[in-house]
Amino acid sequence: MRGAEILARATWSALAEPGDAVAGALVMLVGAHESLVWVRQAVRDGPDFSRLEARHGPLVDADRARLGRALARWAVRLPDCDPLRDLERLDRIGGTLLTPGDPRWPTALDDLGAEAPFCLWVRGSADLGRSLERSAAIVGSRAATSYGERVAFDLADGLAGAGVCVVSGGAYGIDAAAHRGAVARDGRTLVLLAGGVDRAYPAGNARLLEAVVGAGGALAAEVPPASLPTKSRFLQRNRLIAAAGRATVVVEAAWRSGAMSTAHHAARLLRPVGAVPGPVTSVASAGCHRLLRDGVAVCVTDAAEVRELAGLIGADLAADPEAAADARVARPHDGLDPVSRRVLDALTRRVPAPLDRVASVAGVSVAEARGAVGLLELEGWAARRGDGWVLVARSTS
Amino acid sequence: MRGAEILARATWSALAEPGDAVAGALVMLVGAHESLVWVRQAVRDGPDFSRLEARHGPLVDADRARLGRALARWAVRLPDCDPLRDLERLDRIGGTLLTPGDPRWPTALDDLGAEAPFCLWVRGSADLGRSLERSAAIVGSRAATSYGERVAFDLADGLAGAGVCVVSGGAYGIDAAAHRGAVARDGRTLVLLAGGVDRAYPAGNARLLEAVVGAGGALAAEVPPASLPTKSRFLQRNRLIAAAGRATVVVEAAWRSGAMSTAHHAARLLRPVGAVPGPVTSVASAGCHRLLRDGVAVCVTDAAEVRELAGLIGADLAADPEAAADARVARPHDGLDPVSRRVLDALTRRVPAPLDRVASVAGVSVAEARGAVGLLELEGWAARRGDGWVLVARSTS
């Protein structure tokens, strides 16, 4: 990408609010630099739609009206836009400006179409393209319970241990626990901030954000350094988290919350969505259960299931916990055929039972009972005593 | 149903183990009485297949072999079968024998086909057909947690309050908590036992079983009074629970457990299955989460959702908890349009901001900002101060 184009994208990231689809469409149509030249001229002399129509074909009235309204809002900010000042601020914290076309650009964000960010202002490891190849977003409430924070930490710990980059928003509660879990494993984690990357927000997580960078992770924002994290930017930031993760997992969320909006963004982008269940008595899990009930999310309970959800298959295919569980609770007579099992259940330790009695209790024929007690005797389960049969205590080694 | 047929069904319930599909098919083919006559003659003189073939058409070798093996096991029990003795035992506890065709027979059990019970030995309110019209099965681990028992109790309490009969197996843990929840509401609950209805099993639940009968509920079994609750009967009993409930809900279950088998029985019968989520850190909820992950069960969190699952719709359609939740967390500025909201977010309480500054921070045009502050002023959100605008503390009545 030419330098002018990169600078124009940096400018656009200050000029348009995150998620401004009119700006995004204009940049897609004629490029960042040319669209900016057009905007400057339009603000000065009034819009010359013919230049756009030469590229796009005739504009309908609604498009002209949308562009007119957008120009009015861009005009307000245009005088304050100073990409060189913003880039200096980025330099001062050793940051990197990433734009599409850069080999380190996370192409997953292009799925946002006209709402894709113009650029990313990054602090820390700048190769986001590579980091996000194996990634999962973990999101949830700021008002998390200790259960939720523990699960978020454990999931992130497990994902980081498998080389998966944990994406979240750096907020208190679930977000922070997820970043912490990744950092504890010295794993990469990406914090997508609603404000500038030079602002530690929230302030209470400042040390955590430093630790993220120290562990090889990154902080990134689509707005320039020094930008304020406004409410609408928090909401728009959620679409970035949803697009950045190969899957999005909600750990705890109330009915209405940013995490729910992130989950729905992910679903709209056809990214898999997971929800961690919790006690039905906990309002902090109500959003997760709603996502499960509505079929928006799949139930996930550990890091392996998140990896499976994220399509990090092959070596990442979740080991069937049934096998492990079966091994754990395997019953020693699991290998027996159904008739032998019923005959085994019909025997008692103390009172020897004749064969016809055994058959009657078990509900099998005498011939079947005879075959079964023979087998059970060989296996050390049953013993003849007098005319009857008893159950034998067998060591379950 | 003729008296001979009823007596023959009572006999079959002692002769064949629960779920004996060969016996069931034979009874469906020629009737309970005639099949019993045929069995007695076959045991005495060897099987005369021509009599069956007159009704069924030619029997293939595999059918003859299956019948031959079945005859061998029925022959063992035939001498002990004494339906009059069993009916006397039932009379002694004031019980009722229900057979298909009785207006009180729960026709839902007919969905089990050849594995349907021949009859039900009932203690308590015998109109099971009516009780099960509005019903839901609640099942789960004996090794339940206090969380699981509380949820089972609350679900049953809520269902009973809505006139829904709670079906379960009378075991310790979840089953007992569910029956208790229904009894606490003086609601009908059905205990499907693996052994005879004159045996309180497990003994520790004897008082609970009495209370079930006292509250207008019932105990029922497909085996005659005095029958032992064997392991295979517990497993077969689960198919009755699944068939009796219009939906089956698993509250807590380990990976391998009777409750999981009940859930799969219900799924096979195309009955809706629900699972109550719990902490992922609790092994007692692992089976529920597996049912959710496998798509066997729907996530349910309260009695209204169970009623919805059971298709007890209309007045029973679960009230959308979102409406309630929204009312709970409604934000006072929810009614504002997006531009006004962004302008509201751009205002501060202390420092008056001129209109172009407000527009720039909000990312809207000056005209939009002017319109928005006007609206916000009218609504009591904003106030002019000098050349600028400030946010006003508004009582959120």
Query: Domain holding B313: CATH number?
Result: 3.40.50.450
A144 and A207 inside one domain: yes
B241 and B383 inside one domain: no
* Cβ-nearest to B368 among A73, A280, A292: A73
Looking only at the bridges linking them, the beta strands covering B218-221 and B248-250 are: unpaired
Of A21, A47, A81, the last residue of a domain is A81
Confirm or reject contact between B41 and chain A (CB < 8 A). no
Q: ipTM of this predicted complex?
A: 0.81
| pLDDT tops 70 at residue A331 | no
Confirm or reject contact between A252 and chain B (CB < 8 A). no
Mean predicted lDDT score pLDDT of chain A: 92
Cβ atoms of A140 and A146 closer than 8 Å: no
Q: How far, in Å, are B64, B236, B299, B307, B358 from residue A292 at the CA level?
A: 50, 31, 6, 17, 41
Strands (E), chain A: 96-98, 120-124, 135-139, 165-168, 189-192, 218-221, 248-250, 273-275, 298-299, 382-385, 388-391
DSSP H helices in chain B:
3-15, 21-30, 32-45, 49-56, 61-77, 83-92, 128-131, 146-161, 174-184, 206-214, 231-244, 258-268, 286-293, 303-309, 321-329, 338-346, 355-362, 366-378
On whether residue A330 sits in a domain, the answer given is: no
The C-alpha of A361 sits at a distance from chain B's nearest C-alpha, in angstroms, of 8
DSSP codes of every residue in B293-316: HTTSSEE--SHHHHHHHTT--GGG
Q: Judge: A73–B364 Cβ closer than 8 Å, yes or no.
A: yes
Q: Judge: B277–A281 Cβ closer than 8 Å, yes or no.
A: no
Residues in Cβ contact with A52 at an 8 Å cutoff, skipping those fewer than 6 apart: A26, A29, A30, A38, A59, A67
Domain enclosing residue B374, as ranges: 338-391
For residue range A7-58, list pLDDT tens digits in order.
Answer: 999 999 999 999 999 999 999 999 999 999 999 999 999 999 998 998 888 8
What are the residue ranges in chain B where pLDDT is below 50? 316, 324-330, 396-397
Confirm or reject contact between B80 and chain A (CB < 8 A). yes
A312 Cα distance to chain centroid: 12
A40 and A119 inside one domain: no
Confirm or reject contact between A299 and chain B (CB < 8 A). yes
On whether residue A90 sits in a domain, the answer given is: no
Confirm or reject contact between B299 and chain A (CB < 8 A). yes
* Cβ-nearest to B365 among A72, A289, A300: A72
| pLDDT tops 90 at residue A143 | yes
On whether residue A329 sits in a domain, the answer given is: no
* Cβ-nearest to A231 among B292, B345, B365: B345
CATH number, domain of B370, equals 1.10.10.10
On whether residue A100 sits in a domain, the answer given is: no
Residue A327 has what pLDDT?
A: 45
A70 and A142 inside one domain: no
Percent of chain A with pLDDT over 70: 93
**Which chain B residue has its CA at the smallest distance from A367's CA?**
B72
Residue A330 has what pLDDT?
A: 46
Of B81, B97, B121, the last residue of a domain is B81
| pLDDT tops 90 at residue A92 | yes
Question: Chain A neighbours among B 267-296 (CB < 8 Å)?
Answer: 276-281, 285-286, 288-290, 292-293
Residues in Cβ contact with A193 at an 8 Å cutoff, skipping those fewer than 6 apart: A169, A170, A199, A201, A219, A220, A221, A229, A237
Query: Predicted confidence band at A285 (pLDDT cuts at 50, 70, 90)?
Result: very high
Of B299, B323, B347, the last residue of a domain is B323
A180 and A317 inside one domain: yes
B277 and B147 inside one domain: yes
Residue A328 has what pLDDT?
A: 45
Question: Chain A neighbours among B 314-333 (CB < 8 Å)?
Answer: 321-322, 325-326, 329
Show residues of chain B in contact with A228, CB under 8 Å. 361
B62 and B166 inside one domain: no
B266 and B237 inside one domain: yes
Residue A332 has what pLDDT?
A: 58
| pLDDT tops 60 at residue A287 | yes
For A184, counting Cβ atoms within 10 Å of its Cβ (0-12 exposed, 13-18 middle, 19+ buried), the class is: middle
A63 and A120 inside one domain: no
Query: For chain B, how many structural domains are there in total?
Result: 3
A366 and A312 inside one domain: no
Q: Judge: B299–A279 Cβ closer than 8 Å, yes or no.
A: no
On whether residue B131 sits in a domain, the answer given is: yes
| pLDDT tops 60 at residue A111 | yes
The C-alpha of B78 sits at a distance from chain A's nearest C-alpha, in angstroms, of 9
Cα distance between residue B236 and residue B326, in whole Å: 45
Residue A83 has what pLDDT?
A: 96
| pLDDT tops 90 at residue A351 | no
A291 and A218 inside one domain: yes
The C-alpha of B69 sits at a distance from chain A's nearest C-alpha, in angstroms, of 7
B126 and B233 inside one domain: yes
On whether residue A333 sits in a domain, the answer given is: no
